Amino acid sequence: MKNKKRWIRNVRNVSVLFLLASNFSNALIAKGEESTSISTVSSGQVNEIPEIKEAPTASHFFPEELKKWNPATDADSIHNVSKVPLAKRIKSEQTNKDQSLDAKVVSLAIANRNTSGTPSQGSSDKAVYNFTHWQYIDTMVAWAGSAGEGIIVPPSGDLTDSAHRNGVPILGTVFFPPTAYGGKPEWVDQFVQKAADGSFPMADKLLELADYYGFDGWFINQETASNPTTAKAMKEFLAYLQAHKKPEMDIMWYDSMLENGSISWQGALNDRNKMYFQNNDKKVSDNMFLDFNWQYSPSKLASSAKKATELTRSPYDLFAGIDVQAQGFNTATKPSSIVVNGKPLVSLGLYCPDWTLRDGANYDIPTYWKNEEKFWVNSAGDPRDTSMQSNEWQGISRYYVEKSPVTSLPFTTNFNVGNGDRFYQNGNLSKEGTFNNRSIQDVMPTYRWILDNKGNQLKADIDYSDAFNGGSSIALTGSTIPQGETTMKLYKSELLLTGNEVAKIVSKGPAEMTLKLNFKNETVPVTIKGTTNAIGSWTETRFELNRFQNKTIDTISLTINGTTEASTKINLGQFAILDETPLVVSPVENATIAGQSIEEDLYANLRLKWESKGDATSIYNIYRINEQGERQFEGSTANTAYYLTKQKRPSTNQLNYIIVPVDKNQLEHLDQASQVSFAFTDLQAPQANFTANKSFVKVGEKVTLTSTSSLSAEKLDWTIEGGTPDKSNEKQVETAFSKAGKYTVQLSASNQAGSTTATKENYITVYDDSFTEPLVNLSLTAINATASGFTSTNESPKQALDGKLQTKWCDNGNDHPWMMVDLGKLTSIIGFKTAHAEAGGENPEWNSRDYEILVSQDNQNWTQVVQREKNTAGVTEDTIPLTEARYVKLQLNKAEQTGKVARIYEFEILGFQKTGIEVLNN
């Protein structure tokens, strides 16, 4: 990926820098916080900082792009790295008799809405696929790729962090689409090209990418029709990967291509495709995903298992695919379909279980959680339940045993699912506003949910209304009685105690907490009573574990004793088992600002980066220090880079930040923090500008004028010639004209730095009853349309001029697509109406973002009449003063919100066939 940069210099007097840095440190000391080891790096005042206008996004490549990729020149790369190591996982005992201890599950999830434009480290959008039922899968594939965006797609770093914390390997996707969906045979040829020394450069790049970003391998889906030569090269390519990859890295092959290069989905492992799985005694792929069509002949699974055994491979290296993308748990093929005599024949492959959020919930979060529970556990919400029949969706928990990453100390969870409506720290509200940050998602309970009520009637759920740390907690709702008891089985574990540990549960609500532990090789659980103390509105119950030295905790449960007879709500905010001996964390060093952009001279977007060895460190908290010296929480990350958005210019013109390491006991270490500062250039006078909803109106007709001046404008002054009203100080003003004529509009925008004025001569044309020419869509009578390109004759630029929202112009082959319309003669144009992707029923993320419209009378000399940036709307209307032209050009400077594919369903050119239009002289 490449970022367009231009370099700017923020000039500040060096002595001022030292004064500001000194004030910053003094402010921290005044708050009673340590600052002795805080280093100061003032970026942007003396050193040059590259301007990078776009936010960092997850990577996606075509083969030739990946071949040229270098993390040193990819400004986004540091934001896409996962620093979370893959946790060790253990299997639980069976929670029901049907669970297999050997078969595996892979999830091919569209975890991010689009291939392009995925924020590297989360965003303000709460409605993301923040998967939490990791206990039921053995591998996640971050499914992505398209012919228009990129076909080699690593997982985003936040998703890798979440997977690794839960002990699940995660794979990137290599997707060669069928030719009907834009696949190109040359992409496959480029991919498997062999160098003169016998190496495969693209294979080396795949390994480099996985190693640098910290993920665990690749899912290779080759569905582009090819030839025997390319197929032979692909086999050699896979063998090369096996020989050069790290032992723990996985390569999963999709059942699609045959030995002769043709595409034929077998739905089985057989002699026609086995060469991509195993070659005599040589492993070619670690796993194979069998196409969905086995469902039409279930005997294929038995024969596939047999073939795997013949090849000296485990049948559980094969994954029988079930396509749940369209119907989710209503899919006709059920997980029980691969089970014979109570045992899965092969492993299970789930294609697009993100249905639970997408089509199954339409991105409604409460519905998503209900869908997730039914999909992964069962409709009873209890993995012990086996009452559902094989013709029903029995849940993944029915046949696949839970696994747990709770295998090392210290262990702390805040039951934070990685998104929320607001962010809390130690029970206090730190930041308002929706967010997603899967990078800091906690390990959720292994058992969702196993509750045994005696007298009480409690059920468990995810709760966004309150949290101790992060954005969520577990809510137990229902009723309790004074002598009632609820035992909640939380985690399978393998935690060896040294005798120095304590356990803690932080809760809120009318209940008493007791800890229940099962130890390895012991049959009777131990119940431990604790002592309590208040943490604000929360209660911490502490359990001493020193008498259990050298014992290994096998299962962790809580007993909740109610204290009221009324309906109740009890929140669980944190659970921990830890040694309270202070941990020594690595210092944060060399903090700097690696990139910046300024919006409207008022807001800064900053790319922070720093260095740390990461010893005993779980995450980093980033704070902004306000003008009163107080810390304001901005975000958290497990990475050593973070992107800050919309940082408003303070009165001092300087932004100050501190990056604080948080240890594995979840304590901050201010003494090992580092600070960084950014200075704005001097405030400039705002740029005045405005638009009108109409420019050609009848006498008395209302016109709405809207300021589009810089956000740094503090005052607006309108002068509207002939209008009623003719003066205003509002951002938007509605006016009308009592006489025909052409009228000039002027807007001045000012702030403490000065003012600018935008004047549009003869901007509004007002006509009376003597004008009778009909307003028409001139596009419908255009004689020709050309473009930078188009995918097919059914998606040519003419399809954007036919008055139908069922057809479109589409160009996926150019970075800056354009279309030009020849109206056949001079016409009088007053505006444009453009229908983007969303108007045609497609993804709003594909709406054109930045575009301009130019007009010409001779196809030689062009005048820009419209320039629009940061559009998100599915339909845009752009008004211009009455203008005569024959040729109109729509230039897409940013064809999608993040990608480059043009999708224009309609381009209406509004005006009159007549030229030389005159109105009375005003």
Rounded distance between C-alpha atoms, residue 182 and residue 179, angstroms:
5
Q: Which pLDDT band holds residue 921 (cuts at 50, 70, 90)? A: low
Question: According to the model, what pLDDT value does residue 900 have?
Answer: 86
Rounded distance between C-alpha atoms, residue 223 and residue 257, angstroms:
7
Pick the closest to residue 596 from 51, 54, 56 (CA basis).
51
Rounded distance between C-alpha atoms, residue 565 and residue 111, angstroms:
43
Q: What is the CATH code for 411-579?
A: 2.60.120.260
Question: Start-end ranges of CATH 2.60.120.260 in the chain?
Answer: 411-579, 776-912
**Rounded to 5°, angle at Cα 107 from 103 and 108:** 140
Pick the closest to residue 84 from 497, 670, 620, 474 (CA basis).
620
Decide: 568 and 510 in contact? Cβ < 8 Å. yes
For residue 309, what are its two tokens?
């055994």
Decide: 80 and 59 in contact? Cβ < 8 Å. yes
State the CATH class of domain 589-679.
mainly beta
**Strand pairing category for 862-868 and 902-904:** unpaired
Decide: 60 and 145 in contact? Cβ < 8 Å. yes
789 Rama class: left (phi>0) / alpha (psi -120 to 50) / beta: left
- Partnered with residue 570 across adjacent β-strands are 476
Question: According to the model, what pLDDT value does residue 36 have?
Answer: 33
Give the position of tokens 């009890």: 570
Decide: 148 and 895 in contact? Cβ < 8 Å. no
DSSP letter assigned to residue 263: B
**Sequence-ordered list of residues with C-beta below 8 angstroms from that of 590, at least 6 positions apart, any chain:** 39, 41, 610, 611, 674
Rounded distance between C-alpha atoms, residue 879 and residue 774, angstroms:
17
Q: Please check the confidence at residue 218 and state whether its pLDDT lies above 60.
A: yes
Q: Please check the confidence at residue 14 and state whether its pLDDT lies above 50.
A: no
- Partnered with residue 351 across adjacent β-strands are 108, 323
Phi, psi (rounded to 5 degrees) for 256: -150, -50
Rounded distance between C-alpha atoms, residue 487 and residue 516, angstroms:
9
Amino acid at 489: K
Question: In a 3-state reduction of DSSP, which class is residue 846?
Answer: helix
Give the position of tokens 């409605």: 127
Question: In a 3-state reduction of DSSP, which class is residue 413?
Answer: strand
Pick the closest to residue 788 from 823, 822, 814 (CA basis).
814
pLDDT in tens, 110-158: 999 989 889 999 999 999 999 999 999 999 999 999 988 899 999 999 9
Decide: 463 and 493 in contact? Cβ < 8 Å. no
CB-neighbour burial class of residue 590 (10 A; exposed 0-12, middle 13-18, buried 19+)? middle
Decide: 478 and 488 in contact? Cβ < 8 Å. no
Give the position of tokens 């500008």: 689
Question: According to the model, what pLDDT value does residue 40 have?
Answer: 44
Pick the closest to residue 665 from 618, 615, 612 (CA basis).
618
**Sequence-ordered list of residues with C-beta below 8 angstroms from that of 419, at least 6 positions apart, any chain:** 126, 128, 130, 365, 434, 435, 436, 437, 438, 471, 472
Q: What is the CATH code for 776-912?
A: 2.60.120.260
State the CATH class of domain 690-767.
mainly beta
State the virtual CA torsion across 351, 352, 355, 359 in degrees, nearest 10. Answer: -110
**Rounded to 5°, angle at Cα 383 from 379 and 388:** 45
Q: Please check the confidence at residue 345 and state whether its pLDDT lies above 90.
A: yes
**Sequence-ordered list of residues with C-beta below 8 angstroms from that of 585, at least 6 positions apart, any chain:** 615, 616, 617, 661, 663, 669, 672
Rounded distance between C-alpha atoms, residue 567 and residue 456, angstroms:
10
Amino acid at 566: A
Decide: 612 and 541 in contact? Cβ < 8 Å. no
pLDDT in tens, 776-788: 999 999 999 999 9
Q: Which of 180-184, 361-365, 674-678 has the lowest mean pLDDT?
A: 180-184
- Partnered with residue 655 across adjacent β-strands are 678
For residue 491, what are its two tokens?
């985690």
Q: Please check the confidence at residue 597 and state whether its pLDDT lies above 90.
A: yes
Q: In the Cβ-directed half-sphere of 764, how many Cα atoms lie within 13 Å?
A: 32
What element of type H or E holds 892? strand 875-894
Mean pLDDT of the chain: 93
Rounded distance between C-alpha atoms, residue 741 and residue 341, angstroms:
87
pLDDT in tens, 223-248: 999 999 999 999 999 999 999 999 99
CA-to-CA separations, 646 to 603, 607, 643, 649, 689, in angstroms, rounded = 5, 12, 10, 9, 22
Decide: 193 and 222 in contact? Cβ < 8 Å. no
Q: Please check the confidence at residue 182 and state whether its pLDDT lies above 80.
A: yes
Q: Which pLDDT band holds residue 5 (cuts at 50, 70, 90)? A: very low
Average pLDDT (249-253) is: 98
- Partnered with residue 535 across adjacent β-strands are 538
Decide: 779 and 908 in contact? Cβ < 8 Å. yes
pLDDT in tens, 43-89: 444 348 999 999 999 999 999 999 999 999 999 999 999 999 999 99
Rounded distance between C-alpha atoms, residue 472 and residue 437, angstroms:
12
What element of type H or E holds 383? none
Question: According to the model, what pLDDT value does residue 148 have?
Answer: 83
Q: What is the CATH code for 63-114+127-404?
A: 3.20.20.80
Question: Start-end ranges of CATH 3.20.20.80 in the chain?
Answer: 63-114+127-404
pLDDT in tens, 650-667: 999 999 999 999 999 999
Crossing angle of helices 228-244 and 201-213, rounded to 10°? 40
Q: Please check the confidence at residue 23 and state whether its pLDDT lies above 50.
A: no
Rounded distance between C-alpha atoms, residue 879 and residue 867, angstroms:
11
Rounded distance between C-alpha atoms, residue 2 and residue 23, angstroms:
38
Rounded distance between C-alpha atoms, residue 408 and residue 754, angstroms:
61
Tell me which of 711 and 563 has the higher pLDDT.
711
- Partnered with residue 878 across adjacent β-strands are 832
* C-alpha R_g of the chain: 31
Decide: 467 and 420 in contact? Cβ < 8 Å. yes
Rounded distance between C-alpha atoms, residue 904 and residue 807, angstroms:
9
DSSP states of 631-665: EEEEEEESSSEEEEEEEE--TTSEEEEEEEEEETT
Question: Start-end ranges of CATH 2.60.40.10 in the chain?
Answer: 589-679, 690-767
pLDDT in tens, 895-916: 998 888 999 999 999 999 999 9
What is the dihedral sign for C-alpha 24, 25, 31, 34?
positive
Pick the closest to residue 783 from 825, 827, 833, 835 (CA basis).
825
Q: Is the pTM of this model over 0.75?
A: yes
For residue 710, what are its two tokens?
């810089």
Average pLDDT (464-470) is: 98
Phi, psi (rounded to 5 degrees) for 558: -120, 145
Q: Please check the confidence at residue 370 and state whether its pLDDT lies above 70.
A: yes
Rounded distance between C-alpha atoms, residue 701 and residue 638, angstroms:
58
Question: According to the model, what pLDDT value does residue 922 have?
Answer: 57
pLDDT in tens, 95-112: 999 999 999 999 999 999
Average pLDDT (362-391) is: 97
Q: In the Cβ-directed half-sphere of 265, how many Cα atoms lie within 13 Å?
A: 17
For residue 650, what are its two tokens?
């303070």
700 CB neighbour count, 10 Å cutoff: 12
DSSP letter assigned to residue 240: H
Average pLDDT (195-200) is: 97
